[in-house]
C-alpha cells in the first residue's frame, strides 16, 4: 500500500548570536585597582660620614698673656717670648722678632783644641766651617748645627762643642730693647 502523506519539515529557527558591541577605541577603560606605592629606603652607606672637627677659635686682639700678639707670657703670641709656640714653630723656642742681631764678643781662638786631621794641620789651612748657633737672651749658645761643613767632620763637631763653652754674645734685642733669642751663623776659619 502506498500512501502518500505530506511531511512538513520545518527548519529550526536560526539563533541569532548575541554579539557584544565593539568597543570604541577612544573610550575610557574600566578603572583598575587603586595603586599603592611600595615603601622605598636608601641603602645603608658603606662608609661613615665624616663629621667636621671643631676648629680653634680665631686669634684675639686682647691684652691677656694667652691671646693676641703679646710680647711675653704663656700664650702663643706672634711676637715676644714665652712658653707657647712662639711664631708658629713648635716648642718653647724663639718667639720674638729681633730688631738687632747678636754681637759676637768672644770666639774660639785656641787652634790646639781641634784634632789634627789626616795630612796634618797644613791640610786644614784655608778651610772653614759655618755653624748655625741659637743664642739665648743671656748671650749664651743653646743650640749648634753644622750649616756648611769643612772637609773634616771631626773638626766640625769640635767647633759645635767649643761654641757652647767659649763663644759669647751680646744678645739680640727686640724693638723695645729687650734681649731675645736669635740665630747666628758663625764661621770658624782654620789658619794652622
| pLDDT value of residue 4 | 65
Q: Is 45 a domain residue?
A: no
| pLDDT value of residue 73 | 47
pLDDT at 77 over 80: no
pLDDT at 140 over 70: yes
pLDDT digits (tens, 9 = 90+) for 78-119: 444 444 444 444 444 445 577 899 999 999 887 778 888 888
Q: Which of 32-36, 90-94, 123-127, 166-170 has the highest mean pLDDT?
A: 166-170
78 versus 125: which is more confidently predicted? 125
- Can you name the residues that pair with 172 across neighbouring β-strands? 180
State how far the alpha carbon of 41 is from the alpha carbons of 38, 44, 45, 50, in Å: 10, 9, 12, 21
Q: Is 62 a domain residue?
A: no
| pLDDT value of residue 87 | 45
Task: Give the Cα separation of 43 and 100 in Å (integer).
Answer: 66
Q: What CATH number is associated with residue 124? A: 3.30.2420
Task: Give the Cα separation of 172 and 140 in Å (integer).
Answer: 11
pLDDT (average), residues 69-78: 47
Q: Is 7 a domain residue?
A: no
Q: Is the whole model's pTM more than 0.95, yes or no?
A: no
The residue to which cell 749648634 is assigned = 144
Q: Is 40 a domain residue?
A: no
Domain count, the chain: 1
Q: Is 28 a domain residue?
A: no
The answer to whether 86 touches 93, Cβ cutoff 8 Å, is: yes
Q: Is 104 a domain residue?
A: yes
- Can you name the residues that pair with 82 across neighbouring β-strands? 73
The residue to which cell 767632620 is assigned = 153
Q: Is 139 a domain residue?
A: yes
pLDDT digits (tens, 9 = 90+) for 11-65: 666 666 666 666 666 666 677 778 787 787 777 767 665 666 666 665 555 555 5
| pLDDT value of residue 34 | 80
Q: Is 115 a domain residue?
A: yes
- Return left, alpha or beta for 123; rule: phi > 0 is left, psi -120 to 50 is alpha, else beta: alpha
Closest to 142 (Cα-Cα) out of 178, 180, 97: 180
Structural domain that includes position 178? 98-189
Dihedral (Cα; 73, 79, 80, 83), 10-degree rounding? 50
176 versus 93: which is more confidently predicted? 176
Reported confidence tier of residue 67, pLDDT bands at 50, 70, 90: very low
Amino acid at each position: 500500500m502506498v500512501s502518500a502523506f505530506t511531511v512538513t519539515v520545518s527548519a529550526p529557527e536560526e539563533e541569532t548570536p548575541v554579539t557584544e558591541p565593539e568597543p570604541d577605541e577612544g573610550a575610557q577603560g574600566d578603572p583598575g585597582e587603586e595603586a599603592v606605592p611600595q615603601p622605598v629606603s636608601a641603602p645603608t652607606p658603606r662608609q661613615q660620614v665624616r663629621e667636621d672637627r671643631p676648629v680653634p677659635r680665631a686669634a684675639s686682639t686682647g691684652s691677656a698673656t694667652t691671646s693676641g700678639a703679646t710680647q711675653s707670657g704663656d700664650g702663643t703670641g706672634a711676637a715676644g717670648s714665652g712658653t707657647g709656640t712662639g711664631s708658629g714653630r713648635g716648642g718653647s723656642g724663639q718667639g720674638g722678632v729681633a730688631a738687632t742681631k747678636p754681637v759676637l764678643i768672644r770666639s774660639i781662638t785656641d787652634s790646639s783644641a781641634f784634632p789634627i786631621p789626616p795630612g796634618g794641620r797644613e791640610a786644614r789651612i784655608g778651610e772653614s766651617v759655618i755653624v748655625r748657633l741659637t743664642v739665648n737672651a743671656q748671650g749664651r749658645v743653646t743650640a749648634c748645627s753644622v750649616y756648611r761643613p769643612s772637609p773634616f767632620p771631626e773638626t766640625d763637631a769640635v767647633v759645635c762643642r767649643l761654641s757652647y763653652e767659649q763663644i759669647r754674645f751680646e744678645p739680640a734685642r727686640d724693638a723695645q730693647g729687650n734681649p731675645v733669642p736669635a740665630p747666628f751663623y758663625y764661621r770658624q776659619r782654620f789658619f794652622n
